[in-house]
């Protein structure tokens, strides 16, 4: 990427809307704007004060393209730290593209996906965790995901990683100084104090790594598989939760032959719901395929919703399903509570060994009762209370989790070296390895290929 080039892109969605914004950033942003923008005061754009807005017209030679508002941001006080102009035009798709084409014709090039944010990172305005958080804020689809992303955006992860790296580099520098100048700096008794400080760093990193499970659930949603024997009410429950008739519901057993996936927001979190074929022994070849698919989804599920028809006795199909899910997090939903129940809760729950991974709720998919209770149960069952209260720092990025794990492994080697009375220069190797792994999280140590991969996932114009 050449920072000497001026880049441009449409920064708003490509659809008909009230306004559209074309962002231009780079050394020639103002000179390009001078050639295509005519303001009422006839001043050059470069003469405007930074962070001011001006009314005028965009022209392609003598042709007036649109009436616009032009925002001016001078380096270094802009998103990219470069000279930047943003053209606020009418929101038609055609007019947005025409203005962009005019900007490019006058000296800019089309920006790559994420290139504006990449320049902000390379120019030192934001670290890599903040850059990645920008995309997470844009893509957040529930309140908890948004809150976690905003925490990252304001620099909470950066500050935590910076503090931990400072401890590591301080200890490394002390060891190396002592090895270079043993007459003035003694390492006698140092191992014990080092062990205490590295232990504290490890505790913080392990806490962060453990938060990644909840972080991923919040960010990506919970893979939630709905199971039950045919006609237990799985599809009716799915329709009740999403608020529309997405799944076919009939009185004929085995209607659902394939998995039906639906993303739905429940309270503060998101569920990736999968309505599966009813699990039972069958001679129907197509239904057999559906049953096998149901079992495959079950093996990957974060949460299982076991629909039990409480109006009929348990049968072998119910018992076979229990054998498949007894090691999972399970919510047993006693459906058809509007009818007389012929089974007790304990008839089902007694067949599970770990009751901590089990919750029970009575619902009626037909009468649409139990939705609010189900929402509360999901939040209580899946998420740690500290997350719900928004007090904890969450790791929601898989790349961050991997690098934290690498740092933990390196620091565990340091602890082993201390316990085994190894020479201090052995410890500095693993200390610097941990330091480098944490540096990759915030972008202090990152390859060009990785940077390109990260920013290629961004929106065009961001």
DSSP 16-59: -EEEEEEEEESTTHHHHHHHHEEETT---GGGSPTTEEEEEEEE
Return the structure tokens found at 75. 């380096």
- Compute the C-alpha angle 94/98/104, nearest 5°: 145
DSSP secondary structure of 149-165: HHHHHTTHHHHHHHHHH
Q: How many domains does the chain have?
A: 3
95 and 48 share a domain?
yes
Question: Do residues 231 and 201 both lie within one domain?
Answer: no
| 347 vs 379, residue with greater confidence | 347
What's the CATH code of the domain at 355? 3.40.50.300
Least confident of 235-244, 254-263, 350-359, 362-371: 254-263
Report the CATH number at residue 69.
3.30.1360.120
The model's pTM is 0.78
Q: Is residue 462 one of the residues assigned to a domain?
A: no
Q: Is residue 208 part of a domain?
A: yes
Q: Residue 130 carries which DSSP code? A: H
| DSSP 8-state secondary structure symbol assigned to residue 28 | T
What is the full DSSP assignment across 233-299?
SHHHHHHHHHTS--S---SSTT---S-EEEEEEETTEEEEEEE-PPP-----HHHHHHHHHHHHHHH
Shared domain for 358 and 404, answered yes or no, is no
Q: What's the pLDDT tens digit per position in 172-214?
A: 999 999 888 887 888 888 888 999 999 999 999 999 998 888 7
Q: What is the pLDDT of residue 457?
A: 85
Residues 358 and 242 in one domain: yes
Strand order across the 109-110 sheet: 37-39, 52-60, 63-73, 84-91, 17-25, 7-10, 109-110
Does any domain span residue 390? no
Q: Is the pLDDT of residue 229 over 90?
A: no
Q: Are residues 228 and 370 in the same domain?
A: yes
The answer on 312 and 349 residing in a single domain is yes
Provide the token pair at 333: 């939903």
Please calculate the CA angle 365-370-373 and round it to the nearest 5 degrees.
Answer: 150
Classify residue 289: in a domain, yes or no: yes
Using CA atoms, how far apart are residues 8 and 10, in angstroms rounded to an integer?
A: 7
Across-strand partners of 214?
none
Is the same domain home to 49 and 195? no
| Listed residues 126, 159, 194: the one ending a domain | 126
Pair 369, 311 in one domain? yes
Three-point CA angle 309, 244, 297, nearest 5°:
55
| H helix intervals, 37-126 | 93-105, 115-122
**314 part of a folded domain:** yes
Distance CA 1, CA 181 (A): 44
**Torsion from C-alpha of 226, 228, 231, 233, nearest 10 degrees:** -40
* Nearest-angstrom CA–CA distance, 397 and 133: 9
Asked whether the CA dihedral 361, 362, 368, 372 is positive or negative, the reply is negative
Q: Are residue 109 and residue 212 in the same domain, yes or no?
A: no
Domain co-membership, 14 together with 109:
yes
Higher-confidence residue of 34 and 363: namely 34
3-state secondary structure of 384: coil
Dist CA 250 CA 245 (whole Å)? 12
Higher pLDDT, 119 or 374: 119
> Which residues are CB-neighbours of 400 under 8 A, at least 6 positions away?
129, 157, 212, 441
Compute the average pLDDT of residues 64-92.
95
pLDDT digits over 247-280, tens only?
434 343 444 445 678 888 876 778 888 887 666 5
Q: What mean pLDDT, rounded, does the chain reach?
A: 85
- As a whole number of Å, the CA-based R_g of the chain is 29
pLDDT tens per residue across span 384-413: 544 544 557 889 899 999 999 999 999 999
Assess whether 325 and 435 both reside in one domain: no
> By three-state DSSP, how is residue 228 classified?
coil
Given a contact cutoff of 8 angstroms between Cβ atoms, the answer to whether 23 and 9 are in contact is: yes
Q: Which residue has 């806490």 as its token pair?
A: 207
Residue 459 belongs to some domain of the structure: no
In a domain? residue 408? yes
- Residue 248 inside a domain? The answer is yes
317 CB neighbour count, 10 Å cutoff: 17
Q: Which of 126, 150, 169 is the last residue of a domain?
A: 126
- At which of 126, 152, 181 does a domain end? 126
pLDDT (tens digit per residue) in 5-44: 999 999 988 777 889 999 999 999 999 999 999 988 888 9
Q: Are residues 212 and 339 in the same domain?
A: no
Band of the pLDDT at 327, cuts 50, 70, 90? Answer: confident
CATH (domain of 148): 1.20.120.430
Domain that holds residue 38: 7-126
| pLDDT tens digits along 52-73 | 999 999 999 889 999 999 999 9
């Amino acid at each position: 990427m050449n920072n000497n080039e001026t880049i441009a892109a449409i920064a708003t969605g490509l659809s008909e809307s009230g306004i559209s914004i074309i962002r231009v950033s780079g050394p020639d942003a103002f000179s390009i704007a001078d050639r295509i923008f005519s303001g009422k005061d006839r001043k050059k754009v470069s003469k405007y004060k930074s962070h001011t807005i001006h009314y005028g017209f965009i022209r392609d030679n003598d042709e007036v393209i649109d009436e616009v508002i032009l925002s001016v941001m001078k380096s270094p006080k802009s998103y990219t730290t470069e000279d930047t102009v943003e053209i606020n035009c009418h929101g038609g798709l055609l007019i947005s593209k025409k203005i962009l084409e005019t900007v490019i014709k006058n000296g800019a090039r089309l920006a790559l996906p994420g290139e504006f944010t990449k320049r902000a990172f390379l120019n030192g305005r934001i670290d890599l965790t903040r850059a990645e958080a920008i995309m997470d804020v844009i893509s957040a689809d529930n309140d908890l995901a948004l809150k976690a992303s905003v925490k990252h955006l304001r620099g909470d992860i950066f500050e935590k990683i910076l503090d931990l790296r400072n401890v590591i580099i301080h200890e490394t520098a002390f060891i190396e100084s002592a090895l270079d100048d043993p007459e003035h700096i003694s390492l006698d008794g140092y191992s014990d104090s080092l062990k205490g400080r590295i232990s504290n760093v490890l505790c913080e990193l392990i806490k962060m790594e453990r938060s990644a499970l909840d972080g991923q659930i919040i960010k990506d949603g919970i893979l939630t598989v709905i199971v039950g024997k045919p006609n237990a009410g799985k599809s009716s429950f799915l329709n009740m939760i999403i608020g529309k008739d997405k799944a076919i519901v009939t009185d004929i057993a085995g209607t659902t032959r394939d998995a039906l996936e639906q993303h739905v927001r429940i309270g503060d979190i998101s569920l990736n719901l999968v309505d599966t074929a009813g699990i039972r022994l069958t001679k129907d070849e197509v239904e057999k395929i559906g049953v096998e698919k149901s079992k495959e989804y079950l093996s990957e599920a974060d949460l299982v919703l076991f629909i039990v028809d409480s109006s009929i006795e348990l049968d072998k199909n119910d018992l076979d399903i229990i054998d498949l899910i007894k090691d999972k997090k399970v919510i047993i939903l006693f459906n058809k509570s509007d009818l007389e129940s012929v089974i007790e809760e304990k008839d089902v729950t007694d067949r599970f060994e770990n009751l901590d991974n089990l919750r029970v709720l009575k619902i009626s998919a037909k009468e649409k009762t139990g939705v609010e209770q189900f929402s509360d149960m999901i939040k209580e069952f899946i998420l740690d209370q500290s997350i719900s209260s928004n007090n904890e720092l969450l790791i929601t990025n898989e790349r961050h989790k991997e690098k934290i794990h690498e740092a933990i492994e390196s620091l565990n080697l340091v602890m082993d070296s201390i316990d085994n009375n190894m020479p201090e220069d052995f410890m500095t190797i693993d200390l610097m390895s941990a330091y480098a792994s944490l540096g990759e999280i915030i972008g202090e140590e990152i390859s060009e290929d990785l940077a390109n991969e990260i920013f290629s996932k961004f929106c065009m114009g961001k």
